[in-house]
Structure 1
Amino acid sequence: MHTIVIAATATLSVPPQVAYGILIDYREGHPSILPRPHFGELTVESGGTGAGTVFRVQTRQATGMQTLRMRATEPQPGRVLVESDLDSDLVTTFTVDPVDGGKGCRVTIETRWTRGGVRGWMERVLLPPLARPVFLHEMKNLEALGRERMAAKGW
């Protein structure tokens, strides 16, 4: 079995609580930062905010769109959000750490799964450099939405 890991980190100019609040908001915030066309619709099945939320999200694969059914947990509320696929070992972790005295934050997105055989080897070699820019785009969207929400509140 091959372990495939895709990760990216960016420093954002929004406070960690703003970024984290968007990430755990599966009804409005999180769906609006997903980069298109790499992601399709995100549909909440139950919950909607943080831990316990179950949702479906469409992701673009080489063969077309695939729907994943995910459950959110918060091992460290306010800092770490984990999305686990209910049908495989795929896990995406969002880690939000304060920087600049809490005026900004460093966000890391990491997705990890295992796959056997030649397909697993190919995914391990080919996918990280292709998917990293998608994660960076998602974080750029997160920062833009965070700034928009801060401006709306007069921050």
Structure 2
Amino acid sequence: MALVEVVARRDIKAEPDDVLDAIADYKEVHPKLLPEQFTDYEVREGGDGEGTVLYLKLQATSRRVRECLLDVTEPRDDTLVETDRNSTLVTTWTVVPVAEGGTGQARVTIQTTWEGAGGVGGFFERLFAPRALKAIYDQVLANLATETEK
């Protein structure tokens, strides 16, 4: 088994704190960010950052639907981490100012890792899944920009 990693990044013309608050609003804003590959979205506990428990299904490829039960933590002021109880999937959202000491523009990074399958299936997973998930995350980030840019 090998670690599979996907990273997507975008600069957004909005205050970093406002962008992170939007991402952390799992009840109202977060569902608006997710494209059609995410279904059955349900906040089971909390709904605002740390302590949120979120259920959803993700269909990143035509062959596989991943059922996720995510625990949300905030290890730092600029970071949200979603850890799946059903697998090794971990998604980290990081929001920082684009320029040090600067305001008005946020750099948002989504990083997802998981332990991929072994063998031939694992080879194809490592080859195709990151590309598919990156395209999905690019849409999530575009939706986030639409939601937060003024």
- Indicate whether the TM-score tops 0.5: yes
8 A contact 1:16–1:96 mirrored in 2: yes
The amino acid across from 1:26 in the alignment is: Y
8 A contact 1:4–1:120 mirrored in 2: no
Structure 2 CA distance, aligned partners of 1:65 and 1:120? 16
Offset, 1:5: 0.6
Q: How many residue pairs were aligned?
A: 146
The amino acid across from 2:108 in the alignment is: V
Q: Which residue of structure 1 aligns with residue 142 of structure 2?
A: 140
Structure 1 CA distance, aligned partners of 2:70 and 2:132? 22
Q: Which residue of structure 2 aligns with residue 153 of structure 1?
A: none
* Structure richer in helix, relative to its length: 1
Q: Which residue of structure 2 aligns with residue 129 of structure 1?
A: 131
Offset, 1:64: 5.4
Q: Which residue of structure 2 aligns with residue 113 of structure 1?
A: 114
Helix, strand or coil: the match of 1:123?
helix
Helix, strand or coil: the match of 1:19?
helix
Q: After superposition, give the CA deviation of every residue in 1:104-151 in whole Å (9 maximum; x if it has no partner).
A: 10001011000232222211111122221211111110011113xx5x
In the alignment, structure 2 segments of 5+ residues that lack a partner are: none
Offset, 1:18: 1.2
Q: CA RMSD in A?
A: 1.4
Helix, strand or coil: the match of 1:49?
coil
Helix, strand or coil: the match of 1:48?
coil
The amino acid across from 1:120 in the alignment is: G
8 A contact 2:83–2:89 mirrored in 1: yes
Structure 1 CA distance, aligned partners of 2:93 and 2:74? 10
In the alignment, structure 1 segments of 5+ residues that lack a partner are: 151-155
8 A contact 1:31–1:41 mirrored in 2: no
Offset, 1:49: 0.6
8 A contact 2:67–2:86 mirrored in 1: no
State the TM-score, normalizing by the size of structure 2: 0.90
